[in-house]
Amino acid sequence: MPAQHPATPQRPAKGLLGRDGFIDSDELAEYLRVPLATLDQWASRGGGPPFHKFGRHRRYLPSDVRAWIESNRRNDD
């Protein structure tokens, strides 16, 4: 396998968080393995990943979700 040039940007992982466009609440809840009601609670209390609101619909950018996941990483119990 050829070595990558340091200036070559890394491609995001394929799958839900590697795609372009928005993720809806159902997809994100399934990905995170949490009930949809948990995403609703996080959104109403100001927690959870950042989202965009289109009418009554929340949509999430994969890059925002990845950053939120990384910011919630813990090494303790």
Q: Could you report the per-residue pLDDT of 18-73, keeping only the tens digit for each?
A: 888 999 999 999 999 999 999 999 999 988 999 999 999 999 999 999 999 999 88
| Domains contained in the chain, number | 1
In angstroms, the first-to-last Cα distance of the chain is: 39
By residue range, what is the domain housing residue 33? 16-71
Residue 12 has pLDDT above 50, yes or no: no
Residue 4 has pLDDT above 60, yes or no: no
Q: What is the CATH number of the domain that holds 22?
A: 1.10.10
Q: Under a CB-based contact definition with an 8 Å cutoff, are residues 23 and 30 in contact?
A: no
Query: What is the SS3 assignment for 55?
Result: coil
pLDDT classification of 8: cutoffs 50, 70, 90 = very low
pLDDT classification of 14: cutoffs 50, 70, 90 = low
On whether residue 32 sits in a domain, the answer given is: yes
On whether residue 76 sits in a domain, the answer given is: no
On whether residue 20 sits in a domain, the answer given is: yes
pLDDT classification of 77: cutoffs 50, 70, 90 = low
Q: Which residues neighbour 59 within 8 Å (Cβ) at sequence distance 6 or greater?
A: 22, 23, 24, 51, 52, 53
